[in-house]
Amino acid sequence: MQGTLAQRNRALEHIYRENRDKVTNYLRANNADEDQAKDVFQEAVIAMYENIKEKKFKGESAIGTYLYSIARFKWLNQIKKNSIRKDHHDQLEQEEDFQSPLATIIEGETKEGVLQLLAELGEACKRLLIMNFYHEASMKEIAKNGHYSSEQIVRNKKYKCLKRLKELINQKPALIRVLQGNG
């Protein structure tokens, strides 16, 4: 693009206004939402301007046609990238969702073993440990909701419950191996 900066800016504004609707309508007709259409059009205008400055545009077509083809090319690349990402994401989800029958059995046995341990702990310990570890409740919240008179009593009770849980786990070597992932 030759001419003064002001002339180049006016020419660019004219090209922008003359082609914006045609290009963004094409993009929207090909599954782009409003924001995507605007973004791709902006990128196409910038690419067109850079190509003209670097003398890559040979003038073999109208400038509007050239801009349209750049936008079309950019949108097709975007669709391709999105498709690849989606395929990859879908594949990862399928891999995560798949569980071998053996893994399902082991998981069931592990859950059963943990539930059995919690039952052997007693209801008060079970509730306290679940509130603290699973629900991430503070000692203050547990004291209030568990009808304990102070946080210190909750700490002492938690210590005793964990000590008892450790003793119960140590009595079940098969469960220890499963919990450690050594099946």
178, pLDDT greater than 70: no
CA distances to 34, 121, 156, 163 from 138, in Å: 47, 21, 14, 19
User: According to the model, what pLDDT value does residue 82 have?
Assistant: 80
Whole-structure pTM over 0.75, yes or no?
no
pLDDT, one tens digit per residue, over 93-146 is 665 555 555 455 555 566 676 777 777 888 888 888 888 877 888 888 888 887
Q: In one letter, which amino acid is 2?
A: Q
Residue with tokens 């206004």: 17
Please tell me if the domain spanning 5-97 has the same topology as the one spanning 101-179.
no
What dotted CATH number matches 101-179?
Answer: 1.10.10
Residue-range domain boundaries for the chain: 5-97, 101-179
Q: How far apart are CA 69 and CA 154, in angstroms?
A: 70
pLDDT, one tens digit per residue, over 36-94 is 999 999 999 999 989 888 888 888 888 889 999 999 999 998 888 887 777 766 766 66
Q: What residues have CB less than 8 Å from 145, skipping those under 6 apart? A: 131, 137
Closest to 70 (Cα-Cα) out of 15, 6, 149, 119 = 15
User: According to the model, what pLDDT value does residue 139 have?
Assistant: 87
8, pLDDT greater than 90: no
Residue with tokens 């891999």: 95
Q: In one letter, which amino acid is 83?
A: S
SS (H, E, C) the chain: CCCCHHHHHHHHHHHHHHHHHHHHHHHHHCCCCHHHHHHHHHHHHHHHHHHHHCCCCCCCCCHHHHHHHHHHHHHHHHHHHHHHHHHHHHHHHHHHHCCCHHHHHHHHHHHHHHHHHHHHHCHHHHHHHHHHHHCCCCHHHHHHHCCCCCHHHHHHHHHHHHHHHHHHHHCCHHHHHHHCCCC
Q: Domain 5-97 falls in which CATH fold? A: Rna Polymerase Sigma Factor; Chain: A (1.10.1740)
